[in-house]
Amino acid sequence: MTEDNEDFLDEELLDSNSIDIDEENKGLYEHFNITVDKNQEPLRIDKFLLIFRQNSSRNKISQTCRAGNVVVNGVAVKQNYRVKPGDQISVLLAHPPRENVIIPQDIPINIVYEDDDLVVVDKEPGMVVHPGFGNWDGTLVNALAFHFAKNGEKSDLDRVGLVHRIDKDTSGLLVIAKNEYALSFLAKQFFDRKTRRLYWAFVWGNVQDDEGTIKGHIGRHPKNRMQMSVYEDGSHGKHAVTHYKVLERFRYMTWVECKLETGRTHQIRAHFKHIGHTLFNDERYEGHTPLRGVNLPKYKSFIKNVFEILPRHALHAHTLGFIHPTTKQELYFESPMPQDMADAVKKWRNYLEN
């Protein structure tokens, strides 16, 4: 057999005819392709994949097949399919994070829905989703581990299945799988970009059009590796498309709703900076200083006060919709505007009325 096996999102994994990957969710999935050797004898695909991926369990392979994430010659197959010489196999494995120890911590979290398969959380701004370098505790995953243990559920990493992530300072909705099948089923929807997600953002300036689309490849900034840049000529980065609609104008700030056609790292932040409307108070993208050229009494003092009210980039994961792994019914959730953003809106309205 031959293999094309790459860890999701580190490099350009798929060709132009393939599915886009949400780069915010780096490390949550593994995608690999196999061409079955010409001398291979017929063998059930679950056994074949167990030989091929020795670090996977029989249950994980079975649930991955059940979720439709094992495709042979372009068709999803069940675990009893028998591989044949020349078969082209594509597998999407969803896996929970693999750090050695997750310490359960009694941290308040806003759970908006929970059943035997999944939990939906409305994340507060400032909370890191998963432990990592510099943030080994105090994360959403630590809080979930405590929550599961308190309810008598298994609380090891296999029960904390992150399907997607949002940035530390981004607030809003996340879904977490509670078993292997739910993780695989939900991962496929995010992989295929069949979920319903809308973001709310405050951006600097008065966005000219009521609705619009921003296009441009997104890749690392050539000098500041903490930023992403937009390359309109496609010379670097990956294809990215953001659709937006203006919800309210504040003369020097605009409230927009964003729908992502692709899912690149910092896509909303990079795209709006590129068109001259950086996210409000986004320090990483130079959105943390007052808009230049505004000569109004007490304007800088006013902006300073708003920054104190909203001390993070103004981005909120407002909606989340997906098909439930067991019932196959659509679940849809809306998160209200968080208090810091709502207070900023109120202050802007008062400022413009006076």
By annotation, the residues acting in catalysis are 167
| Distance between CA atoms of residues 317 and 89, nearest Å | 35
Which residues fall within 8 angstroms of residue 219, CB to CB, at 6 or more apart? 228, 229, 231, 236, 237, 238
For 16-30, letters b (16+ CB in 10 Å) and e give: eeeebbbbbbebbbb
| Contact status, residue 33 vs residue 87, Cβ threshold 8 Å | no
Q: Pick left, alpha or beta for residue 319 (phi over 0 → left; psi -120 to 50 → alpha; otherwise beta).
A: beta
Q: Which residues pair with 162 in a beta bridge?
A: 176
- Taking alpha carbons only, the member of 165, 168, 126, 241 closest to residue 9 is 165
Alpha-carbon Rg of the chain, whole angstroms?
A: 22
One-letter amino acid of 125: P
- Taking alpha carbons only, the member of 175, 159, 179 closest to residue 63 is 179
DSSP for 102-134, please give it: --------EEEEE-SSEEEEEEPTT--SS-BTT
Give phi and psi for 112, each to the nearest 5: -100, -15
| Distance between CA atoms of residues 3 and 89, nearest Å | 9
DSSP letter for 59, please: H
Q: Which residues pair with 241 in a beta bridge?
A: 215
| Contact status, residue 174 vs residue 141, Cβ threshold 8 Å | no
| Contact status, residue 249 vs residue 206, Cβ threshold 8 Å | yes
| Contact status, residue 246 vs residue 211, Cβ threshold 8 Å | yes
